Structure 1
Amino acid sequence: MERRMIAPCFMEDTLDCLRRHGVQPEPLLAQVGIPPVITMPITSVQYGALWHAVAQTMDDEFFGEGARPMRAGSFALLCQAILSTATLEHALRRGLRFLRAVLDEPHGQLVVENGLARIVLKDTGGPRSAFAYRTFWIIVHGVNCWLVGRRIPIRWVDFRCSAPLTGTDYRLFFGAPARFDQPETRLVFDADFLKLPTIRDGRALREFLRHAPANILVHYRHDAGLSATVRERLRGTPPSAWPSFEVLAQRMRVSEPTLRRKLRQEGQTYQSIKDEMRRGLAMTTLRAGRRNVADIAADLGFSEPSAFHRAFRKWTGKSPATFRREAADQANIDFTANALAAATPFPDKHRPVG
């Protein structure tokens, strides 16, 4: 398991949460070997041990931040519930239903449109704490990354609540933009990842649960790491200069059949990796401005704009022009909603949720 360091600011969020719910953190910190005054990052293993101690003390694996307690053992049942699924989308939808039954609120809904997958959190009351939303994302995203055997890159994360003092560190934690005071709480990633096959079995689950919950805090990578290696090689080269599969295999010093087989074990092919990266670059560029579609096609390595149009329609179900227009419309809607939210008073906005 890859280790990750947890910043002191996130530890402060955790300790503040415990105090809000009437739990004195000092005995729990001593129990897991964490000093009472935290000035340096701690490891994901240490934080996982604290999470486990809190869950046993409160009988709640969600730190008291849900409408109902997530009773000890719920996380293991969540993993069991999604183990028999076939794809990430199947697992995500089933996992969100499970968490709704356990927590009641907040509960997540998967929305797929414009080539993006959005997990939108619903809540009937006022905004919850940033810590509550972050904990929800850690559980959902961490488990699903493990299930498909690779890290799922996040596009951005929105929070209904106001930014905590550690708001800038949320961006570092998620590796993506984190925006606060938004109309809804959501985590966004490329919808193409929903097609990834699940690759874990009962034996892998038993090993996973032995290290839980520390291992849902890490950036998961596939054991072989070839997909990540291929992406890293391509990332440093313009798409128009990406090597053929034969040349790639030679540069990686692996035979073509072996490379093809190991990529397939990760639910990938060389073509799917290139398509995924081209698709991400195309969507980012189209959202960013008014660059000529022919220039975008050339930059992405397409021989002619019509080939790019066919590929983009295959990826998203839309033409580049339609996608750009709808993205601009959504940006205008978000801007208007943000302006209205900023102008509307919410007397109970900072009400603690317990």
Structure 2
Amino acid sequence: MERRMIAPCFMDDTLECLRRHNVEIEPLLARVGLPPVISQPISAEQYGALWHAVAETMDDEFFGEGARPMRSGSFALLCHALLSTKTLEHALRRGLRFLRVVLDDPHGQLIVRNGLAEVILEDASPLRSAFAYRTFWIIVHGVNCWLVGRRLPIRWVDFKCSAPPDGTDYRLFFGAPVRFDQRESRLVFDADFLTLPVIRDNSALREFLRQAPANILVRYRHDEGLSAAVRGRLHMTVPSAWPSFETLAAGMRMQAPTLRRRLQSEGQTYRSIKDEMRRALAMEALLGGSRSVADLSADIGFSEPSAFHRAFHKWTGKSPASFRREAASRLDAQDRSPANSAGPQARHASNGKHCKIDHQI
């Protein structure tokens, strides 16, 4: 079985966090069998072992990044607290309340509007690291995916802080547009998923906790599993030339029913994968470019602009034009803000660089 790997830049973020909190790094790395300098990907299991070692050393499962320590055992208690919930929305709201009690800050609030579920982070601290916010999303979204037994595709992720040196890995990790230097930190997905039933029980939880957190780091990543292989093939050609499902299956040397069944086991269909990719391409172009909507609709594989309009409204609750106007208005408001000490040009350069999607899987 292929080992699931963690990129070196993810480790760099982790080690930089430990340095900020004056934790001796080399003894921890040696304790879990890792070298003092990490320049190659490590397995998810090795990272999970490091996470447990850090949590035990600091008595904090949030690596010192919260207003209060997330004491050892809090993650397990969170999972136990969610087993009795009925739907994803019930679990998400309860989980966010639990984390607020444990961490104080940052804490999340679920807002449902325009067909979207937005987990918006509130924080009394002026700014935390990208690592802190990503850790919060990993815990919340990873547990949610496990509870309903499928990956929940993300629309986009906003970070209030500036981008770390390896912002590309953030985009690849979430499989969606990622923007830094935003007014709020938020993670957005389709509100339809909130009605999914919680399917886990105590027996499943015991196995889940034995493998945590390695399992939530990679099991529900955008770039894991057979669906990632399908995306990789689609990325090799323009959307208008994407193959039929039967042609795709033949190219992957699989029977179409087998491919369909395996995708369903990952919570995906060929249509949902194409929709995710088209949506991401459309949002990227609307956020960072000036192409007409008619040209854009053809670029991403729609035969008529009207079909693109209908699809985009279904994805976001907005027309392409209004989505572009609102995005431009947010950027203008940030540029005019007195807190924007970097100036408008630096702000636009940062957003232009970091909302671009990395298509290399």
TM range (shorter): 0.7 to 0.9
Of 12, 16, 19, which aligns to 1:9? 12
CA distance in structure 2 between the partners assigned to 1:301 and 1:106 by the alignment: 40
CA distance in structure 2 between the partners assigned to 1:246 and 1:180 by the alignment: 39
Shift in CA distance, 91/280, structure 1 to aligned 2, threshold 3 Å: farther
CA distance in structure 2 between the partners assigned to 1:178 and 1:297 by the alignment: 22
Shift of 1:124: 1.8
Matches within 5 A, 1:99-138: 99-111=99-111, 119-138=119-138
Count of aligned residue pairs for this structure pair: 334
TM-score using structure 1 length: 0.75
Report the more deviating stretch, 49-58 or 70-79: 49-58
Shift in CA distance, 210/154, structure 1 to aligned 2, threshold 3 Å: farther
Shift of 1:297: 1.7
> Do the aligned residues in 2 keep the contact of 1:154 with 1:175 (CA within 8 Å)?
no
Letter in 1 for 2:4: E
SS class of match (1:342): coil
**1:347 aligned residue:** none
Structure 1 unmatched runs, 5+ = 345-354
* Residue 172 of structure 1 pairs with residue 174 of structure 2: no
**1:237 aligned residue:** 237
SS class of match (1:175): helix
Shift in CA distance, 193/101, structure 1 to aligned 2, threshold 3 Å: same
Bigger-Rg structure (1/2)? 1
Letter in 2 for 1:340: A
Shift in CA distance, 117/171, structure 1 to aligned 2, threshold 3 Å: farther
> Do the aligned residues in 1 keep the contact of 2:260 with 2:269 (CA within 8 Å)?
yes
- 1:111-150 CA-to-partner distances (Å, cap 9, x unmatched) read 5668876543222233345554343344334434555544
CA distance in structure 1 between the partners assigned to 2:233 and 2:62 by the alignment: 39
Report the more deviating stretch, 261-270 or 80-89: 80-89
Percentage of identical aligned residues: 60
Letter in 1 for 2:272: S
Letter in 1 for 2:339: L
Structure 2 unmatched runs, 5+ = 344-361
Letter in 1 for 2:341: A
**1:352 aligned residue:** none
Letter in 1 for 2:172: G
Matches within 5 A, 1:1-354: 2-6=4-8, 9-10=12-13, 12-19=15-22, 28-34=28-34, 37-38=36-37, 40=39, 43=42, 44-83=44-83, 91-111=91-111, 119-144=119-144, 146-147=146-147, 148-150=149-151, 155=156, 157-160=158-161, 167-169=164-166, 171-172=168-169, 175=172, 183-184=183-184, 186-188=185-187, 191=190, 194=193, 201-202=200-201, 203-218=203-218, 220=220, 225-337=225-337, 339-342=338-341
- 1:29-72 CA-to-partner distances (Å, cap 9, x unmatched) read 5544456x546557343443233233234432223332333222
> Do the aligned residues in 2 keep the contact of 1:69 with 1:103 (CA within 8 Å)?
yes
> Do the aligned residues in 2 keep the contact of 1:222 with 1:266 (CA within 8 Å)?
no
Report the more deviating stretch, 284-293 or 188-197: 188-197
Shift in CA distance, 64/270, structure 1 to aligned 2, threshold 3 Å: closer
- 1:243-285 CA-to-partner distances (Å, cap 9, x unmatched) read 2223333333333333333333333222222222212212222
> Do the aligned residues in 2 keep the contact of 1:145 with 1:152 (CA within 8 Å)?
no
TM-score using structure 2 length: 0.74
Shift in CA distance, 304/126, structure 1 to aligned 2, threshold 3 Å: closer
Letter in 2 for 1:342: S
- 1:300-346 CA-to-partner distances (Å, cap 9, x unmatched) read 22222222222222222222222221221122223333x534289xx
CA distance in structure 2 between the partners assigned to 1:107 and 1:295 by the alignment: 41
Shift of 1:229: 2.4
The CA RMSD measured in Å over matched residues stands at: 3.8
SS class of match (2:80): helix
CA distance in structure 2 between the partners assigned to 1:125 and 1:224 by the alignment: 34
CA distance in structure 2 between the partners assigned to 1:271 and 1:178 by the alignment: 23
> Do the aligned residues in 1 keep the contact of 2:151 with 2:267 (CA within 8 Å)?
no
Letter in 1 for 2:59: D
